[in-house]
Structure 1
């Protein structure tokens, strides 16, 4: 029996008596009971029969329950029930708002149809699921299996997919786990604790729920079709707030999740902070799920992660690939895949005023023809604007992105190894919201992780894991009811997937392409591959006249036969409807595609326009590392003797030492320091390869090749890469990029492939893909809009969550679900600041200063009051004379510079700019990274060498080292047109005498001291010593 204390404290917990039977605080229980009585009648009238919207098979005895918000009260229902729209209280409605129904477009009513049938028809028509073959138990691919095995063994070597990024996230968390694993007893104790922490007592192989459902297992909008707009508006605007006990619980749980604290550490909170109220972790998790109204959907999958038992495999009891049983002896799934629904999260974003305002970026974006600045400048997005959404109401058809609230999405996936051995991989699937501004779009808090495919192997059928996501995306094409916090109206929310990106093996899985194991290995064009000697990999040189029976003998890089969506889908249908597996395998090898991908069911996805090549893997993880293998005579088994591209070993050691020495001359803002590339190349990450290629290699490689043409060839590549990374790319620049890569690839084949049959392996798919970079920019926008850096950061953020080496994938899933629930709560209750546990800098710190006339600069300590030297005082007087256009003697008479002057040692360029230090003011340690060099602009007389000619001033860039910053606080001086006191800020800079060679600035000696206006500083600079 539950005993209620005589004087219940506000933070005390009790069992709610409204019918939900949940552990809540006393004020929350009173609110539940009172609100239920007040609105019970209205809710019954609005909702006929609340039916579950997901057909889920929940194992008996393991049914979880959740609390659903009905206006002013909560009602308990099964967790497989309908998802309600997100609640927000950031802007309470006005008095007349609640009484009057919100604005609702009549079009929304016409489009508001049930999509269960629509999903089945769409997938049947566009995906042809009924004709897709399922391999029998005895029938296996004769040649296809070998090819698939070759994808595992040869994609990394023959196709240059080294996947060095798998090393990026292996840090000290991994080391600690492995060291702990060496001590068996300690490992057992740690795992017992961590299993409870990551899985809430659930075992990955025991007591797992199997809620795999047939094709109708989707989030329906039937609830919204039965509810009136007026009541929906009340549901969205009811002013329910969280009490102090809820906020305390949320902060504790956020700290535990975000900092990856163990359960034992969480238990110690009540001893470390006895004045605060604490709950057990189990109660806390249950309450978090109640507040977020969010949970994952669990599907059973193969123990080897071959398939997820959805769609075509829903009724199977064995894996169609490895033949492993789906269930254990107790009838429970042996492994599960946790899917995180997308629609409730998009609804929560739209219902939060702050987030919904940010998502108006796409609607306010202005496309300028001939200029590429974002994904919305790409021809693929522009073509969707005039394309009708299939299946829309015939009486009221609508176009893609016809509403300013329509959301553009991008999907990325990649495999990463959770352990150093790299013999096991898991595959996160994340979405990016392109409606957000580019400066926040790829930040971790805006990632939409919809699930992590558990290892230990890569998926055999990726479509089976994408099945639940595709169902939601098809529903979002038709529209789901949501609340817009900006216009305070109910509307139909649409979202369209427009881009999919990742490395070549990952996209081959998603597109069901053969990749380098098919006769047409490229996913963008139909170029015929040439099979290497004793290899199953197909290579793609432009010139193949030395290859027997080659037709054509040479390809023109400017006229490659591009793939077309309809033609590719026709080929996929032909492969899928082949009479037997042998013919299907032959057609797949010929066409390069294994069957109809499930992504083809989405109207905004076009093959290959929606699948541009990932710039990060293509360049930093493949091209540059393998060029280094050529230079060090280590590329595969080719004969590198007497080749002009090789660098002697001693010279390469010097290059490595020079690279390591650049650590102290390149500011930390440029990225992680690059190690000795000759000794520690295995530690190189994509970011390091990027910095080395763009900033260091042009310096340390100069003069190292026996023949200068190889260095010039590399410098052309650097110039093209820098153009690709520009924030704004004009049509002329795009033509230069396109023609530049065409010429570069032809020269590459001449220098490295040498048109010899025995050197075919020098022409992998990743070199050919360079010819499609300009195509990708034209079609999908700039390369940064679809490169894999955000995915790599996401994978690295998952590594610390692996608290159990026995069940690493369950640990990752538990962490992701917890993060999503916290984000839902932030959105629903507008708790961004309350749940932000990071130190937030408010305003300026002590002695920081933003001059009124220099709003783009912030001055920071060290700060001193000191007199100027005679030499510097003379320079400052000359600068003032130029500024006020007066004689130097006049300045000396009007402005006293003999006394102490305020000096600062740091300046920060605001709005994401660099922080630059003054070398004379900031002490430089031995291992400090130098951030004192700057780039600045000066107006220079074009005819300075002709004194009698009228001056014509032009802008010129200069470089120098910042010494200190001077702040002159001047009183009103009518003679100098200073009517009020003002501050003038000057930077003392020691210039450098640079020379420009091969688009590379170099210097030997420092120049004279100059005093320049602070506004002329453009950015910080890095330097590298060339020994």
Structure 2
């Protein structure tokens, strides 16, 4: 924690802002213009409103004098906000590329699992990064030796430490910083701060012993334990991975506002024409069937297939506070026909990733069977999400990082709620450009069922 966030990154920022031990840039050009750094700080602060709270605390204006930055804030800025806002800001691109290489190495360090090949890659990568650091900042000038503190050498020991101790999430828990944050509010006297701290620590120790000795941890907890589902929520056995949460629109949506929903249901209920007895589903048939269906519009959906499932909010339902943080942008997966623009070509579907704003969440419940929709079960529940997609800029990307850019919104899609994977954040980059940041990594990725079935067929043929 202290090696990268409290030392290395703080020193890099000081180098970029001409505040590192009174040194200039020497023969290099790594210093940012003051106005540029101030704009980056303002953009960092404003992005807090469009990054969900589950991503961590708001990062304040890092360019302001005397601003307090925790290690968590610096790490989040380094991994997500910095790569987007520093793009095209240096006079020479090699300084930005050098920073991005560090971010890629740090992302590997933070993986849940690390292979032996990745450890070797880290070891070689940090060696190369330090050598380039010496060229870019130290410049092999003895008078610039202060740019090479001990922490630069310590970077070289990162990979061996992972090899000996395991992935860094096992021990990068910020324990001291968290403990200081817990006892800090206990200071009631500026004249005798340590007396307040000592009394608080003693009281906490006594209370902990009472909880353990009498087994009353739950009874004495100041945080009410959450037992069972949230009041007013909805769960369906057909959707074991998600839970609908209030607010809920008390009125049934008008049928004339459900054209996209009807189109999605037509696609959903249409089966292969070669299937014997299959009904031909049209928009008119779906519209008539919806007249008898129970339709609700919900405001939030939560993933419950893990203990830390994201909660995503529909932007068009309910009200938000002025200080709320936007949790309506999501990542979702859809099958796309790669031959959609070619006539008389059999469809071939490929699973692709999309980003967009969740606008509506529809709960549709058919109380009876509907043979005209190819629904033969006595009751069917369907949960759909209406999402306005982000039109990604294909010519903009950061190699090796899961950061994407967009300027305009694209088409609106209505998909099954299980296709929605997680909530994402955004960073306003100026000039009507936004960067999409996704913290989920490889752990929250849909697996193509079509690909699995093809692999099973190949194994069966062999």
TM-score tier (shorter): 0.7 to 0.9
Identify if the C-alpha distance between structure 1 residues 950 and 779 changes in structure 2 by more than 3 Å, giving closer, same or farther: farther
Aligned partner of 1:889 in structure 2 is: 282
Contact 2:79-2:107 at 8 Å conserved across structures: yes
For residues 804 and 658 of structure 1, the distance between their equivalents in structure 2, rounded to whole angstroms, comes to 37
Shift of residue 658, structure 1, vs aligned partner = 1.5
Aligned partner of 1:989 in structure 2 is: 387
Shift of residue 764, structure 1, vs aligned partner = 1.3
Shift of residue 880, structure 1, vs aligned partner = 1.9
Aligned partner of 1:36 in structure 2 is: none
The residue matched to 2:261 in structure 1 has which SS?
helix
Structure 2 residue 301 is matched with structure 1 residue 907: yes
Aligned partner of 2:109 in structure 1 is: 724
Shift of residue 839, structure 1, vs aligned partner = 2.3
Name which of structure 1's ranges 892-901 and 876-885 shifts more when overlaid on structure 2: 892-901
For residues 206 and 184 of structure 2, the distance between their equivalents in structure 1, rounded to whole angstroms, comes to 19
Identify if the C-alpha distance between structure 1 residues 680 and 923 changes in structure 2 by more than 3 Å, giving closer, same or farther: farther
For residues 215 and 322 of structure 2, the distance between their equivalents in structure 1, rounded to whole angstroms, comes to 47
Which whole-Å deviations, capped at 9, do the CAs of 1:618-648 have from their partners, x for residues lacking one? 1111111111111112211323256311111
For residues 752 and 733 of structure 1, the distance between their equivalents in structure 2, rounded to whole angstroms, comes to 27
CA RMSD of aligned residues (A): 2.4
Aligned partner of 1:682 in structure 2 is: 67
Structure 2 residue 8 is matched with structure 1 residue 623: yes
Aligned partner of 1:958 in structure 2 is: 354
Identify if the C-alpha distance between structure 1 residues 979 and 1019 changes in structure 2 by more than 3 Å, giving closer, same or farther: same
Instruction: For 1:182-581, list aligned pairs within 5 A.
Output: none
The residue matched to 2:300 in structure 1 has which SS?
strand
For residues 120 and 349 of structure 2, the distance between their equivalents in structure 1, rounded to whole angstroms, comes to 32
Which whole-Å deviations, capped at 9, do the CAs of 1:762-790 have from their partners, x for residues lacking one? 11111121122111111101112222512
Instruction: For 1:612-1011, list aligned pairs within 5 A.
Output: 616-640=1-25, 643-680=28-65, 682-787=67-172, 789-803=174-188, 808-868=193-253, 872-886=257-271, 887-889=280-282, 891-892=285-286, 895-897=289-291, 901-910=295-304, 911-973=307-369, 975=371, 976-995=374-393, 996-999=396-399, 1000-1011=403-414
Contact 1:724-1:782 at 8 Å conserved across structures: yes
The residue matched to 1:1025 in structure 2 has which SS?
strand
For residues 733 and 941 of structure 1, the distance between their equivalents in structure 2, rounded to whole angstroms, comes to 35
Shift of residue 921, structure 1, vs aligned partner = 0.8
State the number of aligned residues: 412
Identify if the C-alpha distance between structure 1 residues 816 and 947 changes in structure 2 by more than 3 Å, giving closer, same or farther: farther
TM-score between the two structures when normalised by the length of structure 1: 0.38
Identify if the C-alpha distance between structure 1 residues 681 and 810 changes in structure 2 by more than 3 Å, giving closer, same or farther: closer
TM-score between the two structures when normalised by the length of structure 2: 0.82
The residue matched to 1:1024 in structure 2 has which SS?
strand
Name which of structure 1's ranges 800-809 and 740-749 shifts more when overlaid on structure 2: 800-809
Name which of structure 1's ranges 963-972 and 882-891 shifts more when overlaid on structure 2: 882-891
Contact 2:293-2:367 at 8 Å conserved across structures: no
Identify if the C-alpha distance between structure 1 residues 681 and 937 changes in structure 2 by more than 3 Å, giving closer, same or farther: farther
Contact 1:935-1:960 at 8 Å conserved across structures: yes
Contact 2:252-2:297 at 8 Å conserved across structures: no
Structure 2 residue 422 is matched with structure 1 residue 1019: yes
Shift of residue 867, structure 1, vs aligned partner = 4.7
Question: Where do 5+ consecutive residues of structure 1 fail to align?
Answer: 1-615
For residues 173 and 66 of structure 2, the distance between their equivalents in structure 1, rounded to whole angstroms, comes to 21
Shift of residue 809, structure 1, vs aligned partner = 3.9
Which whole-Å deviations, capped at 9, do the CAs of 1:910-939 have from their partners, x for residues lacking one? 321222211111324443321110011112
Which protein has the larger Cα radius of gyration, Structure 1 or Structure 2? 1
Shift of residue 722, structure 1, vs aligned partner = 1.6
Instruction: For 1:1-40, list aligned pairs within 5 A.
Output: none
Shift of residue 878, structure 1, vs aligned partner = 2.4
Contact 1:666-1:1023 at 8 Å conserved across structures: yes
The structure whose residues are more often strand, as a share, is 2
The residue matched to 1:955 in structure 2 has which SS?
strand
Contact 1:752-1:762 at 8 Å conserved across structures: yes
The residue matched to 2:112 in structure 1 has which SS?
coil
Aligned partner of 1:141 in structure 2 is: none
Identify if the C-alpha distance between structure 1 residues 869 and 714 changes in structure 2 by more than 3 Å, giving closer, same or farther: farther
The residue matched to 2:411 in structure 1 has which SS?
strand
